Amino acid sequence: MTKRELIQKTGFTLLAMCMAANIVFLGLIIFFIASKGLSIISWEFLTQAPVDAMTRGGIAPAIVGTLYLTLGAVLIALPLGAACAIYLTEYSPKGWTVNLIRISVNNLAGVPSVVFGLFGLAIFVKKAGFGVSMLSGSLTLGILALPVIISASQEALIAVPQSIREASLALGATRWETIHRVVLPAALPGILTGVILSVGRVAGETAPILFTAAAFYMKGYPDSVLSEVMALPYHIYALMTEGTHPEIQTQIAYGSSLVLLALVLSVSMLAIFIRQRYRRGYNA
């Protein structure tokens, strides 16, 4: 073997090992959570409310609460984020204003989530008077999801080739018709992928809902957007830090983690599925 072949071989081996390490870590996390939490999972666990100071019963209100909060966040962030991305890529004059907005959006992505939580507390809970509620929590999570949705949407819009915009305009379409009949449909799979990835992030966040939405314990399900909700991440946190039966609570916490992990992973799989399905799009 020559020296160059040896270098190449070493390089590829290192890359393969790094990739293997990734898979190993992911596998370990899933295995670890599953081994500790799987035993507690049952039909009852998934469909019942907690009882006996959360030492028995299930976690259904927390699952439902997380679904509501996430859905609410997406309903708020998708139209706002998509509109912002459309404005930035399709309408605004290129130049320093756009760059400034772009930088702000990226910085927004770097803001720690607990800061969003405090912001939500000050603005939605207190100022707007929504109280600790699903609405306040969804709004806070929605803002948290905005940067992800904006940048994914921008990428999706930029990936739509200029040539099909020109084709539409050359047929006598206005810019608006071109955007909503040609550009948006072409960008939709990319935008949806961004949405779904942001769902993964939003569903697992604890800090933003800590002060804005989460209830420690609820017997039933929320009945309006202004009621408090239980949510999986906060439920896990509460089980691990409060209460009087640490052993059984720890086990329930692992079971809840497994459910949360399954939710987030299945949403990611959905994103991958959508992307695959539409991959044979314009850049085929």
Partner 1 sequence: MHSASKERGAADFLLSGNGVKSAPGLFGEAENSCIEPKISARGVNFYYGPKRALKDINMDFSPRLITAIIGPSGCGKSTFIRLLNRMNELVPGTRLEGEILLDGLDIVAPVCDVAELRKRVGMVFQKPNPFPKSIFENVAYGLEINGSLARRAIEEKVEDSLKKAALWDEVKDRLRESALGLSGGQQQRLCIARCLAVEPEVILFDEPCASLDPISTAKIEELILTLKKTYTIVIVTHNMQQAARVSDRTAFFLMGELIEYGGTGMIFKAPHDRRTEDYITGRFG
Please give the residue ranges that form the binding site for partner 1 (CB under 8 A): 93-94, 161, 163-164, 166-174, 177, 181-182, 185-186, 280-282, 284
Distance CA 159, CA 111 (A): 27
Distance of closest approach, residue 204 Cβ to partner 1, in angstroms? 34
Distance CA 230, CA 228 (A): 7
The tokens of 222 are what? 């929320």
Please say whether the beta carbons of 137 and 210 come within 8 A. no
Distance of closest approach, residue 213 Cβ to partner 1, in angstroms? 40
Please say whether the beta carbons of 229 and 215 come within 8 A. yes
When the beta carbons of 168 and 250 are compared against partner 1, the nearer one is 168
How many CB atoms within 10 Å of residue 3? 7
Distance of closest approach, residue 91 Cβ to partner 1, in angstroms? 13
Distance CA 197, CA 265 (A): 10
State the maximum Cα–Cα separation within the chain, in Å, rounded to a whole number: 73
When the beta carbons of 38 and 159 are compared against partner 1, the nearer one is 159
Distance of closest approach, residue 105 Cβ to partner 1, in angstroms? 23
Distance of closest approach, residue 124 Cβ to partner 1, in angstroms? 40
When the beta carbons of 168 and 251 are compared against partner 1, the nearer one is 168
Distance CA 22, CA 190 (A): 25
Distance CA 22, CA 203 (A): 23
When the beta carbons of 112 and 172 are compared against partner 1, the nearer one is 172
Query: Using alpha carbons only, how large is the chain's radius of gyration in Å?
Result: 23
When the beta carbons of 77 and 179 are compared against partner 1, the nearer one is 179
Distance of closest approach, residue 271 Cβ to partner 1, in angstroms? 20
When the beta carbons of 174 and 266 are compared against partner 1, the nearer one is 174
